Amino acid sequence: MTLNEIQYKLQELKDRGFIETHRKGPTGIGHTLEQELQLAETNLAIPDIGGRIELKANRKKSGSMVTLFTFNRSVWQVPQKEVIETFGYTDEKGRQALYSTVFHNNPNPQNLKIKIDRTAHKVHLCHKETILGTWSIFTIVGKFVTKLERLMVVFADARINEESGKEEFHFNEAYLLDKPEPDNFLNAFEKGLIAIDVRMYLKPTGAVRNHGTGFRIDERNIPKLYEKRKQIV
């Protein structure tokens, strides 16, 4: 599918107005867009702009956060079990757990916060002055650049149909994003637009189950991370 073809299909979708979701729940918007574009995957093969492009669909006013990537390898300066036991809580399944979203210089309910050291090229997860985990800026920026090198993001107004009770989407805005910019990524971190999401708990054996530490952003702010932003619808 060429860029002209995808623009034509997206313009057709816009002209159709609100479309009933093809699936209930938060993933309905992405699934509906894929089905309407007749895609089997969440990416597009667009040869005239250099190959495969990841596709994301977003509700305009949702304010929900999406995971850019996860990275957890060899980052913990304090053992994960100790972190869970010190800062965690008992979850609904009776497990000692720590699911916590953390922003730069803005302590959360567990008093966890992110500190960025540009001189040492480090991002730290801290409790007060104690460093719990450390990520290399080069590593996480590299992860961001390679995983999300090109992105097509499609925005939709969403509403609930009063008669059917089902969600409907009006896909009416789309951007082609290229050249993820490392400085934009770090600036977003410092402005509190990107969060680190800690997601782990203790098994009955006492072993740690870590779902992967996520780097997350409000989906409406994704275009701010890129040098090139071209509106195509």
SS3 23: coil
For the domain spanning 3-231, the CATH number is: 3.30.70.3570
- The two tokens of residue 201 are 């708990």
Give the pLDDT of residue 111: 93
Across residues 125-129, what is the average pLDDT? 92
Q: Read off the DSSP letter of residue 103.
A: B
User: Which pLDDT band, with edges at 50, 70 and 90, does 48 fall under?
Assistant: low
Give the pLDDT of residue 220: 83
| Of residues 157 and 151, more confidently modeled | 157
Residue ranges per structural domain of the chain: 3-231
Tell whether pTM > 0.85.
Answer: no
| Of residues 5 and 130, more confidently modeled | 130
Give the pLDDT of residue 84: 96
pLDDT in tens, 11-27: 999 999 999 999 998 88
| Of residues 130 and 6, more confidently modeled | 130
Q: Which residues of 167-178 are buried (b: 16+ CB within 10 A; e: fewer)?
A: bbbbbbbbbbbb
